[in-house]
A and B are shown apart, each in its own frame.
Chain A
Amino acid sequence: MPVAHRNALIDRVTGSDTHRAIDAVWRIESARLIAGLARMMRDVGVAEELAQDALVAALEQWPESGVPRNPGAWLMAVAKRRAIDLLRRRERFDRKLTELGHELETDQGATPDIEIGDIEDDLLRLVFVSCHPVLSTDARVALTLRLLGGLTTDEIARAYLVSEATVAQRIVRAKRTLGDAGVPFEVPRGDELADRLPSVLETIYLIFNEGYAATAGEDWMRPALYEEALRLGRVLAELMPTEPEVHGLVGLMEIQASRTAARTGPSGEPILLLDQDRARWNQLLIRRGLAALDHAEALGGAMGPYALQGAIAACHARTRTADETDWPRIAGLYDELGRLTPSPVVELNRAVAVAMAFGPAAGLELVDALLAEPALKAYHLLPSVRADLLAKLGRRDEAQREFERAASLTRNERERTLLLDRAAACA
């Protein structure tokens, strides 16, 4: 069915109870549907179209017939029928070409697999294809939200503050790139899996952070992203139960998400971790996060980059008041993280932990070593941390200059005010 017609139909029929139910069923079932079809058709683009055709059939029939008992199976049966029709038409076309004496350029050896196999395996294949390193991060994010999250192009556009056309184009290009690169619809094995998994985890964590960074008053689709990433992480943990870093990432996200209600004040101002009201942290999410990290550790993965970041978050989550924080342990975890994934930002965080654990002079030494770091040249937290440590050491003039420099670098108005206040207090 042409896309324009399909969209018109979907628009026309939304609203009633059945259509609300269909919308919910789509969100629940679409990823599995697309995954199963992608294995049959060896093409995620065609799979998505077939899945949407099945959705249109549901929109046409369910208002009359009611929502079937097993809506996922219903959609799959319809989509599979259409997939087979499509394959037969292609076969007839290919035969015609052969009869006319044309050489077939398509790979005749690959017989499409029309049996419904293990849908969990298909879903995992879809995850690895959507997050394939051949795609840019923007493309991976858009494709993941679209194919695995069941989000519409419009929802992705609103979440990322870009136009719908931009997102649509990213998705079209991503599908084309996958086709041109001949990316197979499979889960990588052995060493290749170890190479490819980070790209999947990175994509999910990027989506999480995009949503987590959203502020109050923004379009609700933006904060919804962190919940979607968390959900995708949990799905992945079920699909790959023996991969410690998947549990590490889930643990990290659950614990960060547990602070949602505490991290902004009454008028939307950000509240720093150590100043948050810990009674507002969500204990259910903390427990789930700690369980996921235990799981990662039991699998021998306590020292993976996500498990380590999770362990740092867990240190805070386990501590009832900010004063009781185990800073030497956090500094030690940052040591490990810095060894594993060296970066100036990790080093700056390590400096903060070291200062809290062993005094401002020890922290300042590490911060000063970062002053020549080009990656942190415009990063306001470097002068901000440095100013704080200088102030604690009683070096007020230097602290004032650093607070002022930090204020000039931040893009957040509230933070600028705060930094200028602190600068003034040093005078």
Chain B
Amino acid sequence: MRFLMVHRIDESAPDAYDPSPEVYAGMGQLMGEMTKAGVLLAADGALHSSKGARIRYSGGKRTVTDGPFTESKEVIGGFAVVQVRSKDEAIEWASRFAEVIGDVEVEVRQLDDQPAVG
């Protein structure tokens, strides 16, 4: 089963996009471990929300709001897609990820790879 792991960060924190050498090294090591364990399918970190946008579609009309998302306390900091054997295993990897970053919330969501139900 595949899971999406998304973590949210407080962009206003000074080290939000400038991790300490320890965090940087720890993240590299963890990604290596996840690759060696055969579970990591994809992962990337997001750049500052000023480089992004939000698109809302409603009533046939689209509204594009360019970043930064100053009204949001936390923004998406990055994602990983893992293929594991249980939700508990996804939680364990997410915990190790959170431990490296230090102060963060990671959301773990199972991805749908079931055939279409019609």
Contacts of A20 in B (CB 8 A): 88, 91
The answer to whether B89 touches A261, judged by C-beta atoms less than 8 angstroms apart, is: no
A interface bracket (residues with beta carbon within 8 Å of B):
20 to 34
Report the separation of the CA atoms of residues A233 and B35 in the bound assembly, to the nearest whole angstrom: 12
A156 CB → nearest B CB, Å: 13
Which residue in B36, B88, B113 is a CB contact (below 8 Å) of A235? B36
Contacts of A280 in B (CB 8 A): 115-116
The answer to whether A233 touches B115, judged by C-beta atoms less than 8 angstroms apart, is: no
Residue in B closest to A20 when the chains form the complex, CB atoms: B88
| B25 on the A face (CB < 8 A) | no
| A27 on the B face (CB < 8 A) | yes
Report the separation of the CA atoms of residues A234 and B39 in the bound assembly, to the nearest whole angstrom: 8
Contacts of B89 in A (CB 8 A): 24, 27-28
Report the separation of the CA atoms of residues A251 and B92 in the bound assembly, to the nearest whole angstrom: 27
| A91 on the B face (CB < 8 A) | no
Contacts of A232 in B (CB 8 A): 38
A225 CB → nearest B CB, Å: 11
Contacts of A277 in B (CB 8 A): 116
| A21 on the B face (CB < 8 A) | yes
Report the separation of the CA atoms of residues A216 and B115 in the bound assembly, to the nearest whole angstrom: 9
| B61 on the A face (CB < 8 A) | no
Instruction: Bits for B34-55, please: 1 = Cβ < 8 Å to A, else 0.
Output: 0111110110000000000000
Which residues of B65-118 are within 8 A (CB) of A? 81, 83, 85-86, 88-89, 91-93, 95, 99, 113-118
Report the separation of the CA atoms of residues A280 and B93 in the bound assembly, to the nearest whole angstrom: 28
Report the separation of the CA atoms of residues A227 and B38 in the bound assembly, to the nearest whole angstrom: 10
Which residue in B88, B114, B115 is a CB contact (below 8 Å) of A265? B115
With known contacts A21-B92, A28-B37, A238-B38, A227–B115 Cβ distance under 8 A: no
| A23 on the B face (CB < 8 A) | yes
10 sampled A-B residue pairs with Cβ under 8 A: A21-B92, A23-B86, A69-B99, A227-B85, A235-B38, A238-B38, A239-B36, A260-B113, A265-B118, A266-B115
A59 CB → nearest B CB, Å: 15
| A262 on the B face (CB < 8 A) | yes
Report the separation of the CA atoms of residues A52 and B100 in the bound assembly, to the nearest whole angstrom: 28
| B1 on the A face (CB < 8 A) | yes
Report the separation of the CA atoms of residues A263 and B115 in the bound assembly, to the nearest whole angstrom: 8
The answer to whether A235 touches B37, judged by C-beta atoms less than 8 angstroms apart, is: yes
Which residues of A252-295 are within 8 A (CB) of B? 260-266, 277, 280, 282, 284-285, 288
Contacts of A264 in B (CB 8 A): 115
| A142 on the B face (CB < 8 A) | no
The answer to whether A21 touches B99, judged by C-beta atoms less than 8 angstroms apart, is: no
The answer to whether A25 touches B117, judged by C-beta atoms less than 8 angstroms apart, is: no
Which residue in B86, B115, B116 is a CB contact (below 8 Å) of A27? B86
- How many cross-chain pairs have Cβ atoms below 8 Å apart between A and B? 71
Known: A21-B88, A28-B37, A231-B37. 14 other contacts (CB 8 A): A20-B88, A20-B91, A21-B91, A23-B88, A24-B88, A27-B86, A227-B85, A230-B38, A231-B39, A235-B36, A235-B38, A262-B115, A266-B117, A284-B41
The answer to whether B36 touches A238, judged by C-beta atoms less than 8 angstroms apart, is: yes
Instruction: Name the residue among A20, A24, A233, A277 with the largest chain B CB count within 10 angstroms.
Output: A24
With known contacts A216-B115, A261-B116, A282-B113, A28–B92 Cβ distance under 8 A: yes
| A10 on the B face (CB < 8 A) | no
Contacts of B41 in A (CB 8 A): 284-285, 288
| A224 on the B face (CB < 8 A) | yes
| A228 on the B face (CB < 8 A) | yes
Contacts of A261 in B (CB 8 A): 113-116
Contacts of A227 in B (CB 8 A): 1, 83, 85
Report the separation of the CA atoms of residues A263 and B116 in the bound assembly, to the nearest whole angstrom: 10
Residue in B closest to A220 when the chains form the complex, CB atoms: B1
Contacts of B88 in A (CB 8 A): 20-21, 23-24
The answer to whether B115 touches A230, judged by C-beta atoms less than 8 angstroms apart, is: no
The answer to whether B115 touches A24, judged by C-beta atoms less than 8 angstroms apart, is: no
The answer to whether A228 touches B117, judged by C-beta atoms less than 8 angstroms apart, is: no
Which residue in B36, B38, B85, B95 is a CB contact (below 8 Å) of A233? B38
Residue in B closest to A221 when the chains form the complex, CB atoms: B85
B117 CB → nearest A CB, Å: 6
Contacts of A285 in B (CB 8 A): 41
Report the separation of the CA atoms of residues A263 and B35 in the bound assembly, to the nearest whole angstrom: 28
With known contacts A69-B99, A231-B83, A24–B91 Cβ distance under 8 A: yes
